[in-house]
């Protein structure tokens, strides 16, 4: 198969590229704009493979995307390019609207024009896979329910609203124009190569640098955690074997309170790299004012992908977290420049917006 992966230098996208390119029968073209979270260092293991190509560019550049689709004879578009951090969307929603909504619209237009020009066999084989988030479904009560593929959309943040809009656009291009699409909505990812603005790498690196470990509100908010390499395998299955027009929820069956995630990181670090003062890293935990519009709980029911496509998460939260921490401890050369040049751990999402 010949894949175009958008956003392939990002956290999840790079995991997808590494997985796909490891199979020499695949051709993988990675299109990424290289905004702040895009990192070619995450692709070092595949950058010299003959079946892999990186192209720097914007999904909204219809001429460039069209040329790539035709020249590379793409069979499957895996669309992961997105602005993805809730706190950043609170401070600056405009970039999320431009990339996640307008960018997806332009990518759909280009993919549709390309698809129309294919011969019947390749037209039948073509897929447009849109990768999204469980945050489009909004807030769940603490004590009941999970998100299914039939859950109503109720986004709470500019980020989740922009992803909800892009989901609807993709479905509309299938319903109105017949473009063969599949969609997926995932729970919180974690693992190697994770940009340090997100909870797990932020807490981990702050702890190693003896900085405070900020936890929003009371720490009771719950997330379902999914190891990124498990997610990449799910995405490959959906893109290649998912039913046209269907969506698949991808989760790790690993719900945890935020405070328990932070304490688990501290416990592993206490064992692997004890503090010089003999104390626990948990002593650095600091409860801070809550994020605005902070959803209480997300929880994915992944039964559909488990039954239909035979996928299930291989890593438990405990094994995945251990692997993640081991990777960060062994790869300071990857994360140190990010901490020094792009994101030092400051709090985001605090800008006061009197009007938008």
Helices assigned H by DSSP within the chain: 11-21, 62-72, 86-91, 93-96, 104-116, 120-125, 158-177, 199-208, 228-241, 258-272, 303-309, 317-330, 332-341
Q: Is 135 a catalytic site residue? A: yes
- Give the sign of the dihedral formed by CA 46, CA 47, CA 53, CA 54: positive
Nearest-CA neighbor of 258 among 213, 296, 215? 215
Tokens linked to 104:
């997806």
Q: Is 75 a catalytic site residue? A: no
Q: For 287, which DSSP code? A: E
* Residue 128 near residue 184 (C-beta atoms within 8 A): no
In the chain, what is the greatest distance between 2 CA atoms, to the nearest angstrom?
68
CA triple 103-104-108, angle to 5 deg? 120
- C-alpha of 3 from chain center: 18
How do strand 188-190 and strand 222-227 relate by DSSP bridges? parallel
Question: Of 52, 105, 114, 159, which residue is the catalytic one?
Answer: 159
Please state, in angstroms and rounded to a whole number, the distance separating the CA atoms of residues 82 and 59: 10
Nearest-CA neighbor of 174 among 131, 226, 228, 115? 115
Q: For 97, which DSSP code? A: I
Please state, in angstroms and rounded to a whole number, the distance separating the CA atoms of residues 187 and 189: 6
Name residue, tokens 């958008």: 6
Question: Of 135, 197, 224, 255, which residue is the catalytic one?
Answer: 135
Q: Is 290 a catalytic site residue? A: no
Please state, in angstroms and rounded to a whole number, the distance separating the CA atoms of residues 95 and 177: 28
Question: Of 83, 134, 236, 295, which residue is the catalytic one?
Answer: 134
| Helices and strands counted in the chain (H then E) | 13, 12
Please state, in angstroms and rounded to a whole number, the distance separating the CA atoms of residues 34 and 55: 10
| Active centre residues (catalytic) | 134-135, 159
């Amino acid at each position: 198969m010949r894949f175009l992966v958008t956003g392939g230098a990002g956290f999840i996208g790079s995991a997808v590229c590494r997985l796909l390119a490891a199979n020499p029968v695949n051709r993988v073209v990675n299109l990424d704009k290289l905004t702040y979270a895009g990192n070619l260092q995450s692709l070092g293991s595949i950058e010299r493979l003959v079946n892999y190509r990186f192209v720097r560019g914007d999904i909204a550049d219809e001429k460039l995307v069209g040329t790539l689709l035709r020249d590379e004879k793409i069979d499957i578009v895996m669309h992961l390019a997105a602005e993805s951090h809730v706190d950043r969307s609170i401070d600056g929603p405009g970039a999320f609207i431009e990339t996640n909504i307008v960018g997806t619209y332009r990518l759909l237009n280009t993919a549709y024009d390309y698809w129309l020009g294919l011969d019947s066999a390749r037209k039948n084989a073509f897929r447009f896979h849109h990768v999204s988030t469980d945050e489009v479904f909004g807030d769940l009560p603490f004590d009941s329910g999970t998100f299914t593929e039939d859950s109503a959309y109720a986004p709470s943040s500019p980020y989740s609203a922009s992803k909800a809009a892009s989901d609807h656009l993709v479905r509309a291009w299938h319903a109105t124009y017949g473009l063969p699409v599949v969609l997926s909505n995932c729970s919180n990812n974690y693992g190697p190569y994770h940009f340090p603005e997100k909870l797990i790498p932020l807490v981990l690196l702050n702890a190693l640098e003896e900085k405070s470990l900020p936890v929003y509100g009371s720490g009771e908010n719950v997330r379902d955690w999914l190891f990124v390499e498990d997610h990449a395998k799910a995405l490959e299955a959906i893109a290649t074997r998912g039913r046209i027009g269907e969506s698949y929820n991808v989760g790790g069956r690993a719900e945890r309170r935020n405070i328990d995630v932070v304490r688990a990181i501290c416990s592993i670090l206490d064992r692997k790299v004890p503090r010089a003062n003999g104390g626990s890293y948990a002593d650095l935990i600091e409860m801070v004012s809550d994020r605005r519009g902070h959803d209480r709980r997300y929880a994915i029911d992944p039964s559909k992908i488990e039954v239909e496509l035979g996928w299930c998460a291989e890593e438990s939260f405990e094994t995945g977290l251990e692997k993640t921490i081991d990777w960060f401890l062994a790869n300071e050369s990857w994360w140190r420049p990010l901490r020094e040049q792009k994101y030092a751990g400051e709090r985001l999402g605090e800008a006061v917006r009197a009007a938008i």
